[in-house]
Structure 1
Amino acid sequence: MQITPDTLATLNNGFNAAFLQGFNAIGSQGNQYQQVCMEVSSSHRLENYGWMKDLPGVREWIGPRLINNLEATGYQIVNKDWEHTLGIKRPDIEDDILGVFTLAVQQQGDIVGRHPNELVFAQTLLKGFTTTGFDGQYFFDTDHIGYDVNGAETSWSNAGGGSGSPWFLLDLSRTFMRPLVFQMRRAPEFTPLVSPSDPNVFHMNEFLYGVYARYAAGFGFHQLAYGSKQTLDAAAYAAARTALGTQYRPDGSALAVRGTHLVVGPGNEAAARRILLAERDAAGATNIWQGTAEPLIVPQLG
């Protein structure tokens, strides 16, 4: 292949199409993060989430309105820059060794498309036992501020303890409230650097195909999440459901949280399926937990 502006343009278009093919082919399994995250469009370097606090329920309007002020908690999520770059030697382009590189660019699209899963599950959710959320407590902690049925302040735990493989019971029934946040500032963009006058071509005889994006992940509502490293069995699962389901607002009304998804890694997949899908338990009795939540198997959780 003779390297000309026209052939480079054709090559760039083909590689861009290959990148998008790989990026768009990941499907629902590749976009598992979307199931657990509030997706927020960001327009600044960072976004503030001070509004994520407990609000009272609806009250009968007697006398003046009771204004629930949105107090700032100082919780911010800062956008991060991300990149992925492939280098292809100019002689390989000239010699028409393109088929393998088209596959490589498709793989690049797949890798970039799946990165939010890594960011959300491995780098955020798994670190919830040792990283603070908007209330200044660890996201999974034993002494969050909660309320009882009388509206009195109490201590509430969404951490099950233990030291084994982690698992999580999440309420994903609210599209506008989720346990985690995915904040998009700039979607991935495929950019070639292939001009003969570009330093990489001039000095290294190498064409570069890079991707740039800006986004971040962080913690949302801990009230919708329970995390544990205890052995995943029926008793531990029942305790998680009870913890989530017995939460109240500052006025004593029910928060109405229910565990809809049991999120596990491959190591806990069998246990999750026994609890949620089997008709009988180990003793042969009716499995009362069958169908009470959906299993979500996430490779990044191990």
Structure 2
Amino acid sequence: MLTQTQIDNLKTTLIARWNAGLALSKEDWKLVAKLVNSNGASNTYAWLTQFPVFREWVGARFHKAVAERAYHVKNRKFEATIDVSVDDIDDDNLGQYGTLAEGAGQSSIDLKNDLVYQALAAGFSSECYDGQYFFDTDHPTYANEDGTGSLVTVSNMQAGAGAPWILLCTKRAPAPIYLQERMKPRFDMLTAVQSDRNFDYDQISFGGKWRGDAAYGFWQCAFGSKADLTAANFEAAYDAMGDFKGDGQRKLGILADTLVVGLANRAAAEAILTKANLAGGESNTNYKRVELIVTPWL
């Protein structure tokens, strides 16, 4: 008969391996995103309409109206479940389940990486706080600093049909993308000897749970392209970011510091950024201009 001691000992082992898996995975999402803690079913990002820019204080303070359009991000729920045969517990044949528990811990971190980088890749067809796609040709800015006056549109994308590559400004407080987390990765396990799962299937189940999602931040800190990754296109995107202006046509001081590419653009990105000299022997002016992130998650 399955005993409570056997289940408790198994849980202790699996939690240890789960925690080992959490420690093994690299949290690559932290290279491009910042964490936003969530305390409910969703978060509202109305504050994103106010990109912080100092101005001379003349008369009263300048109060910029928050845009009426609210940007909501609901927390999604994710799980990974593994079933343990009671026969394996009886036979003390449990080594493989430790490996699975460790892998589940790793997978919870992989999920965060996947959500952030897939959100960047989907930015060409997903809306951000201003109602436009995150990467779009016509983000609205206005002639006056308070968000009124004539409309001036700004593009933060290059059109094309290739694999996406993305320039980001990650060294400023405003972030291009956020990881919204309602619940940290949590280990759960059925620990009762007398359970429906045990009675019906002769199994004990364990798994992990996480709640949250990726959220688009300031489009001003990002530039997306599906054009060929050439030196000319890279330089055009880099210069375009540096010329971004906010309401009142005030310079934002944005400079790209990171290039994110998937495996399809790895070689092209390395040719632009990691070679000190070009094929003809002349100096490469783009050498180490920005940090390069090659990720399988994009």
Q: Would you say same fold, with TM above 0.5? A: yes
Q: How many residues end up aligned between the 2 structures?
A: 295
Structure 1 residues not aligned, in runs of 5+: none
Mapped pair 1:241 → 2:231: no
Alignment of 1:194-205 (within 5 A): 194-205=191-202
Equivalent position of 1:79 in the other structure:
75
Alignment of 1:220-235 (within 5 A): 220-235=217-232
Aligned residue among 134, 152, 157 for 1:139: 134
Q: Give distance in 1, aligned partners of 2:242 and 2:111.
A: 32
List per-residue Cα deviations over 1:22-75 (Å, max 9, x = no partner).
Answer: 11111xxx2111122121011011111011124473232222222223334310
Q: Give distance in 1, aligned partners of 2:186 and 2:284.
A: 49
Equivalent position of 1:256 in the other structure:
253
Indicate the SS of the match to 2:200.
Answer: helix
Equivalent position of 2:179 in the other structure:
182
Does the 8 A contact of 1:52 with 1:221 survive in 2? yes
Does the 8 A contact of 1:165 with 1:267 survive in 2? yes
2:165 partner amino acid: W
1:95 partner amino acid: D
Q: Give distance in 2, aligned partners of 1:158 and 1:71.
A: 20
Aligned residue among 121, 128, 150 for 2:123: 128
Does the 8 A contact of 1:133 with 1:219 survive in 2? yes
List per-residue Cα deviations over 1:98-143 (Å, max 9, x = no partner).
Answer: 1122111111111122111111112x11111111111101111111
List per-residue Cα deviations over 1:143-195 (Å, max 9, x = no partner).
Answer: 11246899974221111111111110110112x32111211111111111142
Mapped pair 1:211 → 2:213: no
Equivalent position of 1:70 in the other structure:
66
Equivalent position of 1:89 in the other structure:
85
Q: Give distance in 1, aligned partners of 2:285 and 2:142.
A: 29
Q: Give distance in 2, aligned partners of 1:58 and 1:48.
A: 25
Structure 2 residues not aligned, in runs of 5+: none
Kindly, what percent of the aligned residue pairs are identical?
32
Mapped pair 1:15 → 2:14: yes
Mapped pair 1:295 → 2:292: yes
TM (norm. structure 1) is 0.92
Does the 8 A contact of 1:148 with 1:247 survive in 2? no
Indicate the SS of the match to 1:22.
Answer: helix
| Change over 3 Å in CA distance of 1:200–1:70 after alignment to 2 | same
Does the 8 A contact of 2:45 with 2:71 survive in 1? yes
CA RMSD of superposed structures (Å): 1.9
Indicate the SS of the match to 1:131.
Answer: coil
Aligned residue among 10, 33, 36 for 2:32: 36
Equivalent position of 2:100 in the other structure:
104
